[in-house]
Amino acid sequence: MTFLRENSPVKTKDMLIGALLRVPAEAIHRRIINDLNAAGFTELSLPHMALFRFPGPDGVRPGVLAERAGMSKQAMNRLLGSLEDLGYLIRSDAPDEGRARIVRFTKRGHAAYAKAMEVLRNIEREWRAELGPRDFAQLKELLFRVWESPLVR
Amino acid sequence: MTFLRENSPVKTKDMLIGALLRVPAEAIHRRIINDLNAAGFTELSLPHMALFRFPGPDGVRPGVLAERAGMSKQAMNRLLGSLEDLGYLIRSDAPDEGRARIVRFTKRGHAAYAKAMEVLRNIEREWRAELGPRDFAQLKELLFRVWESPLVR
DNA sequence: CACTCTGAGTAAACTATGTGTACTATCACT
DNA sequence: AGTGATAGTACACATAGTTTACTCAGAGTG
């Protein structure tokens, strides 16, 4: 982001919470895709990230994944189809319910997900080094309180 | 986000910084669009948000806006064209350089941008009430330090 | 001055990604 | 059996982005 950095100095008060959250969140997003691509998972792009994040899709039903990602079941189904073609996962019938299906990572899918988590841990290490362990923990704690609160529903 | 809230309790340590930033950032994003639509700016949708955020597009050249938004000049040009058709802005020739152009908000554009900033201030007020003034200020300060750092380039 | 090179803005074809509508299969309830 | 609701899927459609390509203005050079 080459915002105003070249010009006058910017202070905390100038920035609103929207930009303060958005800019680092997007930076992390790009970083994960880049590192994933560099690690050999070259087909993965931005929309696939809806699946390769925190509670992974493994063992979950398509409809739940759609709701998590905030998209329609049809869109999620396409995503799953493309990732199935790419060999990252398979959809099999659920054992308990006839109409339901279950998403399962393949070996490659597990590897990609593990890599994404590794990148995230690397990012955390870098941030911890930059801010100091105490302040980084504080940042996560504050964000967690936001996450728990009704603010983000 | 109906993540795992229904199930076992989640602790700070379980969450990685990616999700902790992404979830509130997206919540703010949706909130701004909703409130903007509710306030009468019904045509504005997600992609337009690339323009209605912090340093607005007013007085800036298309190429700079494209770089800020992290998209190609052509894509930005389309966005500008659609917003011009909707009456939010105009593109006029730059006074100094013949080949350059300058984006200018119309009255409606200024009103929408002001509304977006108002929503952001409302959000800040709510977060301050939820976290307490001291912790909210602390959160912004920590995010600002991230923003300043080389971490997010 | 003509000549070339570069950069800003634009336009059109192509691609992809999401939504809306619609269909099938299964479950729950009567 | 019959009805309605739900999970998953398929396809037409709209939307938004990138790639490729063009025009025009400015800068430098012979």
What are the chain B neighbours of A123 within 8 Å (beta carbons)? 17-18
> Is it the case that residue B6 has pLDDT exceeding 80?
no
pLDDT confidence tier of residue B8, bands split at 50, 70 and 90: low
> At residue B72, what are phi and psi to the nearest 5 degrees?
-75, 160
What b/e string do you get for B133-142 counting C-beta neighbours within 10 Å, with b at 16 or more?
Answer: eebbebbbeb
pLDDT, chain B, mean: 91
Complete domains list, chain A, with CATH: 12-152 (1.10.10.10)
Instruction: Report residue A91 as tokens.
Output: 């959809």
Residues 67-126/B with CB within 7 Å of nucleic chain D are 71-72, 74-75, 78-79, 82, 97-99
- CB spacing of B147 vs A20 below 8 angstroms: yes
pLDDT tens over chain A, length 153 residues: 444 444 567 777 678 999 999 999 999 999 999 999 999 999 999 999 999 998 899 999 999 999 999 999 999 999 999 999 999 999 999 888 888 999 999 999 999 999 999 999 999 999 999 999 999 999 999 999 999 999 887
Q: Are residues A35 and A115 in contact, defined by beta-carbon separation less than 8 angstroms?
A: yes
- Cβ of A55 less than 7 A from strand D: no
pLDDT of residue B5: 45
Q: Give residue-wise pLDDT tens across range B52-104.
A: 998 899 999 999 999 999 999 999 999 999 999 999 999 998 888 878 899 99
> Which nucleotide lies at the shortest CA–C1' distance from B46?
D16
Residue A109 sits at the vertex; the CA angle it makes with B152 and B4, to the nearest 5 degrees, is 70
> At residue B60, what are phi and psi to the nearest 5 degrees?
-110, 155
Q: CB of A24 within 8 Å of any CB in chain B?
A: yes
Instruction: Report residue B105 as tokens.
Output: 């908000």
- CB spacing of B146 vs A124 below 8 angstroms: no
Q: Which of residues 94-123 of B touch A (CB under 8 A)?
A: 117, 120-121, 123
Residue to test with chain B: of A131, A147, A149, A153, most B Cβ within 10 A: A147
- CB spacing of A32 vs B18 below 8 angstroms: yes
Top pLDDT among A14 and B33 is at B33
